[in-house]
Structure 1
Amino acid sequence: MRQLQFPLGVNYWPAGKAMYWWQDFEAAEVEQDFCRLADAGFQVVRVFLAWEDFQPTPHKISTRCLNHLVAVAEVAANCKILIQPTFFCGHMSGVNWMPEWMLGGPAQGRFPVMSSGKLSHLEIRNYYSDREIIKAQKLQCREVAQVLKGHPALWGYDLGNESSNCVIPPNRQAARDWLAAVVGELKGVHDVPVTIGLHAEDLEEDRKLGPADAALYCDFLCMHGYPFYLDWVDHPLDTKVLPFLGLITNWLGGKRVLFQEFGVSDQILQQEFPGEIEEGGALYYRKALHLLREAGMWGAFAWCYSDYQPHLFGKPPLKENPHERYFGLFKADGSHKKAVSVFQEFAKEMKDSADCDVCCDACAAGEVSWLKGEDPQRFYDNPLSELIRLYNEWLVVGC
């Protein structure tokens, strides 16, 4: 992995394809997007391997999709940008996308399931405890790692996006055994950094795979945070909660933290900045980036690259979740919003500063006064109450 001082990245789906990208792949489209992102100062693009497309059966990985992924890596290298492929996708924008072989009978889960072109409510088999599924996942890891082995554009791997929204391990040991299996498969091919995309709900609840579990096998930790999704935050654009979530992740896991998702929908901005949506978005990102950096986060990835084109609005997940249509740093036509200039300025600051390293270890629990005396081993006894209590303390003495 190329060493980056402060990895500045973005989460990517194409504006005109969204989650249907791999079914209608165009390398020229990706090249245009990636070069646009590189020009805006981004160093890493997080891409998602749609599980159903990459693994249509437990025993078969799509050669077509593997070839597309290699093409993505080639484009990235040409644009002088890096990629972070995310496996087993999985949960995305309020819908769980699954291959048919991963599904059981009817079930009223929190999120609908998209499979074989249909949206329904079905049980998802638990891949933390089902040996046949773990075997299938290891196959996907192995074949993806083999085609990308040694590629100069490969920055690292991500084991899943907010996976606890799909299934929860039956117990903590099952989660750790799963991590050992899939991380071992990847590193057996090529020793590149591996992480997993945890989110705020993995702190609010004990979902049996938290920062301490991930830290046993992952090279670094990740956190996702959106204040407008947090019931215990007073303001939908509270940027202070972002570094707080990262600091708690570091405290619980003891490893550096990439803040892998943060962003805001234009629908939220319209409520808070009527008539000045782009200005509001730029302000939010500017505050968030500097707070994350000052708190010692290792890097930050925006959600997301682009608004989606209107022809997708009648399809999942944008039909069911209209706010997801407008999270982009770029508009659906490819023109940039004012927030893009914030990232350009931030990237320049990072490049120009001779002493821009805030030590990532500075956010270790032993060095943060407001966590002195707190026991990370007890956090999950009552996680939501602890999270709220610690946040209120941090607002007073820590931030």
Structure 2
Amino acid sequence: MPSSASPSGAPRFGANYTPGQGWFHHWLDFDLDAVRADLDAIASLGLDHIRVFPIWPYFQPNRTLIRPRAVDQLVQLADAAAERGLHVNVDGLQGHLSSFDFLPAWTQTWHRRNIFTDPDVVSGQADYLRTLAAALADRPNFIGMTIGNEINQFSAGPHPDPDRITEEQAEAWLRTVLAACEDGAPGKLHLHAEYDAAWYQDDQPFTPAQAAGLGAVTAVHSWVFNGTAQRHGRTGTATRHHAAYMIELAKAWATDPRRPVWLQEVGAPAPLIPAEHAADFTEDTVDAALDCQDVWGVTWWCSHDVSRDLADFPELEYSLGLLTNEGKVKPAGEAIARITREWRSRTYAPAPRTTAVVVDDDLSRRSECAPGGAVFEAFARLVADGVRPTVVLAGRVADSGHLAARGIRDVLLPADVG
């Protein structure tokens, strides 16, 4: 069984587990044999871990009721994964998945309370996360908890009905729920994960500093449907290097120059990445990401396609799998399997990136880092010119120790990049 930590010279490769039968509603009709078949197909790709998504209201339908049977089924899934050599990371608060929100009734309508600040809600969340972590704590294949999938989308627009909070409230909430995970499973790899608004949206209360400073590793979720592929096209440098850019942006905000970064979500969304080009995009994206230092691992979204029997998903969500709904390997799955095999015999030791683009520390200017922003476009132009750039905060440009620790020799303002 591989170690939960990314060993020196060997990045981790995994998939976000989307069950082949019933999508995440499979928890309502849990079928361990179907899960085992899914995991067999995932393991056949040579992957070493999966990310698993309990649905919060299915597991905790009342604030003081965490269903024992649901928790036991989660453990059964983890044990089945272990039998196939797969480690398991568990996201607790879902929360949000593929455009659908799943929030317990005890936080909505007649019981409407802010999910980040109401003391009773936060206490219930902490109990739930602690319970899941404790149930898995003695499993050697348990990596740790992710607080929840992109839960920052509930805190600001464009969500249609957000629970608005301040940056200080976001940080207090993160510290509370991360501590609950540590209480349940001490010493495991516990983290939080936001969608890219934390890095790109000026008024988002979840911040880059929180992403790069709280929890055991920094998670980034790279999706080129955020304007990147629309602006730069399928084969554009910015599109193929978007994940690498996000990794380097994450490193800019970390106080620890060697803090690991987990590319926890990345996928090939059609039609921006047509199916016949998904394999090429997959290879280009992973190659670029693993040219960055300190990458914990790459976890592709997702394992299986969503069944066409399920209605109302955005079109792109139906075809993101490495495997079909029936478990047949797709071209992107073949590419991931090939990449995984190749990296098992390679040494992961990318050289430092010696040229850095300066990004403003001012959170109200985060949009400069988004597609079309000055920092984003400068980074892409440098890559197109054959440079291997990174990013550095303006407040650290004069910190010679920080620059030396990261191997940075040349610092450029976005306006300096022609």
TM-score, normalization by structure 2: 0.81
Corresponding residue of 1:201: 197
Q: Tell me, yes or no, if structure 1 residue 395 matches structure 2 residue 395.
A: no
| 1:265 correspondence with 2:266 | no
Identity of aligned residues (%): 20
Amino acid across the alignment from 1:45: I
Q: Does 1:334 align with 2:322?
A: no
CA distance in 2, matches of 1:221, 1:376: 20
1:218 maps to which of 198, 215, 220: 215
With over 3 angstroms needed to count, the CA separation of the structure-2 counterparts of 1:291 and 1:65, relative to structure 1, is same
Q: Is the 8 A contact 2:193 2:211 kept in 1?
A: no
Query: Which one of the candidate residues 333, 340, 350 is aligned to 1:358?
Result: 350
Q: Give 2:350's aligned amino acid.
A: V
Structure 2, unmatched stretches of 5+, are 157-163, 389-418
Q: Deviations over 1:266-301 (max 9, x none)?
A: 44344xxxxxx3x41111101011000012333211
**1:1-399 to 2 correspondence within 5 Å?**
2-4=4-6, 5-104=10-109, 125-168=113-156, 170-190=165-185, 191-205=187-201, 206-230=203-227, 233-236=231-234, 238-254=239-255, 255-270=259-274, 277=275, 279-296=276-293, 297-312=295-310, 314=311, 319-353=312-346, 355-358=347-350, 362=352, 368-371=354-357, 374=358, 377-378=361-362, 380-387=363-370, 388-397=373-382, 398-399=387-388
C-alpha distance in structure 2 between counterparts of 1:303 and 1:325, whole Å: 12
| Letter aligned with residue 65 of structure 2 | K
Whether the 8 Å CA contact 2:133–2:144 is kept in 1: the answer is: no
| Alignment-mate amino acid for residue 233 of structure 2 | H
Secondary structure of the residue aligned to 2:61 is coil
Separation (CA, whole Å) in 1 of partners of 2:54 and 2:63: 15
Contact 1:262 1:302 in 2 (8 A): yes
SS in structure 1 at match of 2:262: strand
Q: 1:22 aligns to what SS in structure 2?
A: helix
Distance in 2, matches of 1:141 and 1:322, equals 32
Q: Distance in 1 between matches of 2:241 and 2:213?
A: 28
- Change over 3 Å in CA distance of 1:322–1:131 after alignment to 2: same
C-alpha separation between the residues in 1 aligned to 2:269 and 2:318? 8
Does the 8 A contact of 1:124 with 1:166 survive in 2?
A: no
After superposition, the Cα gap between the structure-2 partners of 1:344 and 1:386, relative to the gap in structure 1 and judged at 3 Å, is closer
* Per-residue deviation, 1:93: 0.6
Q: In 2, Cα distance between the equivalents of 1:92 and 1:384? A: 24
2: distance between equivalents of 1:177 and 1:92? 24
2:253 & 2:284 partners in 1: Cα distance?
Answer: 25
**Partners in 2 of 1:2 and 1:19 — Cα distance?**
25
CA shift at 1:42, angstroms?
1.0
Shift in Å at residue 357 of structure 1? 2.9
Deviation, 1:179, is 1.6
| Cα distance between partner residues in 2 of 1:87 and 1:253 | 25
Q: 1:157 and 1:376, CA in 2 relative to 1: closer, same or farther beyond 3 A? A: farther
Distance in 2 (alpha carbons) for counterparts of 1:14 and 1:48: 10
* Change in 2 beyond 3 A, CA 1:174/1:68: same
CA RMSD of aligned residues (A): 2.0
CA distance in 2, matches of 1:12, 1:384: 31
Q: CA 1:124–1:204 in structure 2 vs 1: closer, same or farther (change >3 Å)?
A: farther
In 1, are the aligned partners of 2:263 and 2:299 still within 8 Å (CA)? yes
In structure 1, how many angstroms separate the alpha carbons of the residues matched to 2:80 and 2:247? Answer: 31
- In structure 2, relative to structure 1, the CA distance for the partners of 1:124 and 1:383 (3 Å cut) is farther
Give the partner amino acid of 1:203: W
CA distance in 2 between partners of 1:283 and 1:95 (Å):
29
Measured in 1, the distance between the counterparts of 2:313 and 2:184 equals 40
Give the TM-score of the pair, scaled to structure 1. Answer: 0.85
Structure 1 counterpart SS, 2:141: coil
Taking a change above 3 Å as real, the CA distance of residues 265 and 124 of structure 1, as seen in their structure-2 partners, is: farther
Contact 1:265/1:328 (<8 A) preserved: no
Q: What do the CA deviations read for 1:33-73 (whole angstroms, capped 9, x no partner)? A: 11221120111100112111110001110111101101011
Counterpart of 2:262, as a letter, is L
Letter of the 2:149 partner, please give it: N
Q: Name the count of aligned residue pairs.
A: 360
Q: 2:244, 2:292 within 8 Å by CA — same for their partners in 1?
A: yes
Residue 150 of structure 1 deviates from its aligned partner by 1.7
Counterpart secondary structure, 2:19: coil
SS at match of 2:306: coil
Please state whether the residue corresponding to 1:299 is helix, strand or coil.
strand
Q: Are the equivalent residues in 2 in contact too, given 1:11–1:302 (CA < 8 A)?
A: yes
Question: Could you tell me how far apart the structure 1 residues matched to 2:184 and 2:223 are?
Answer: 35
Q: Is the 8 A contact 1:196 1:218 kept in 2?
A: yes
Contact residue 14 and residue 30 of structure 1 kept, 8 A: yes
How far did residue 320 of structure 1 move?
4.2
The alpha-carbon distance between structure 1 residues 197 and 233, as it changes in their structure 2 partners (threshold 3 A), is: farther
**Deviation sequence 1:77-123 (CA, Å, 0-9, x none):** 10110111001101111121111111136xxxxxxxxxxxxxxxxx9
Please give the alpha-carbon distance, in whole angstroms, between the structure 2 residues aligned to 1:377 and 1:128. Answer: 25
For 1:124 and 1:256, how far apart are their aligned partners in 2? 37
The 1:215/1:269 distance shift into structure 2, 3 A limit, reads: closer
The Cα of 1:9 is off from its aligned counterpart by 1.2
